Amino acid sequence: MASLRVVSGIAIGLSLAGCTARETAKVAPPPVMVPAPPQVARAPLPPGATPGMRIPALLPDGNYATPNRALTSAATIWHLRSALNVAALACRGPDEGLIVTRYNTMLTTRKIALAAAEKRYSAEYQAQGGDWRDRYDDAMTRLYNFFSTTPVRKGFCAAADAVLADISNAPTDDFETGAAARLDRLDAPFIAFFRAYDAWRAGTMVPVQRTTAPLAIAAQANPPVAQAGVSGPVLSSQPVPAAKPYAPPVINPPSLKVDSAALQ
């Protein structure tokens, strides 16, 4: 009888264990499919740019130290004329004839304002004393080199075409008052290029557009989505060239043959 009770106890225990196992077994829910975050890639090198090229310094206010900052009214007008002179010489394509024609027209119709601006601008250099003519000529050479920056040529020529059209359609007395805004329009393509180059040089990460996002498996219905190995921007393993101070090559300023009576 004792052995029977032991066997019966074992059987009852096994039976209870089986019941317990069946009661606690759970079926895992199906995984939840959620869109994966988009991939990221390094900002591209701007068209025409070369690694290690020199650009103006980035200033604390977020702008660049171009030759067209903090100008007097006379300098603004003369820098505007210099930029459009470069455009008349360097811009090629379907609109080149119109650019040259409008530039020559500007020299004729705005000759009084241009002559007065050049006189005041020269006087500003003379007031600094010393060999002012050499300093003036050096500044003009740097200015022409700046506006001749090859990778910016397409955007600059488009801006120059628009500015010359604006000058042609504006009243004569608007030339001086509108000079600063027009010079800013001519400066803008260069600023955009410098920002793009700095973004590439710094290894800035930018989103890559996708038509469809891949799917990733999440462990629960509403998890914080985190992809393995994508904890933050991944910088290129290639060394980034160090920034160099802006010192454009010195070339002779271009010249354009125009009607000599325009500046008399």
Would the pLDDT of 151 be above 60? Answer: yes
Split into its structural domains, the chain has a count of 1
Q: How confident is the model at residue 202 (pLDDT cuts 50, 70, 90)?
A: confident
Q: Are 191 and 4 in contact (CB under 8 A)?
A: no
- Which pLDDT score is estimated for 201? 87
- Which pLDDT score is estimated for 35? 62
- Which pLDDT score is estimated for 81? 98
CA distances for 261 relative to 80, 82, 84, 104, 111, angstroms:
20, 18, 19, 11, 9
- Which pLDDT score is estimated for 142? 96
Which residue did the predictor score with more confidence, 34 or 104?
Answer: 104
Question: Does 140 reside within a domain?
Answer: yes
Q: Are 200 and 45 in contact (CB under 8 A)?
A: yes
Q: How confident is the model at residue 30 (pLDDT cuts 50, 70, 90)?
A: low
Question: Does 55 reside within a domain?
Answer: no
- Which pLDDT score is estimated for 42? 74
Mean pLDDT for 13-34 is: 54
CB-count burial class (<10 Å; 0-12, 13-18, 19+) for 187: buried
Q: Which contiguous run of DSSP H or E holds residue 118?
A: helix 111-126
Would the pLDDT of 251 be above 80? Answer: no
- Which pLDDT score is estimated for 11? 46
Question: Does 254 reside within a domain?
Answer: no
Question: Does 232 reside within a domain?
Answer: no
Q: How confident is the model at residue 136 (pLDDT cuts 50, 70, 90)?
A: very high
For 157, the token pair is: 């020529």
Question: Does 197 reside within a domain?
Answer: yes
Would the pLDDT of 182 be above 70? Answer: yes
Angle at 174 between CA 173 and CA 176, to 5 degrees: 90
The domain of 183 spans: 73-203
Q: Are 161 and 189 in contact (CB under 8 A)?
A: no
Q: Which contiguous run of DSSP H or E holds residue 35?
A: strand 32-35
Question: Does 235 reside within a domain?
Answer: no
Would the pLDDT of 3 be above 70? Answer: no
CA distances for 148 relative to 2, 31, 86, 209, angstroms:
110, 60, 7, 34
Question: Does 226 reside within a domain?
Answer: no
Question: Does 57 reside within a domain?
Answer: no
For residue 243, give the DSSP letter: P
- Which pLDDT score is estimated for 215? 42
Could you tell me which residues are beta bridge partners of residue 217?
33
Residues sharing a CB contact under 8 Å with residue 124, sequence separation 6 or more, in sequence order: 72, 74, 75
Q: Report helix, strand or coil for 216.
A: strand
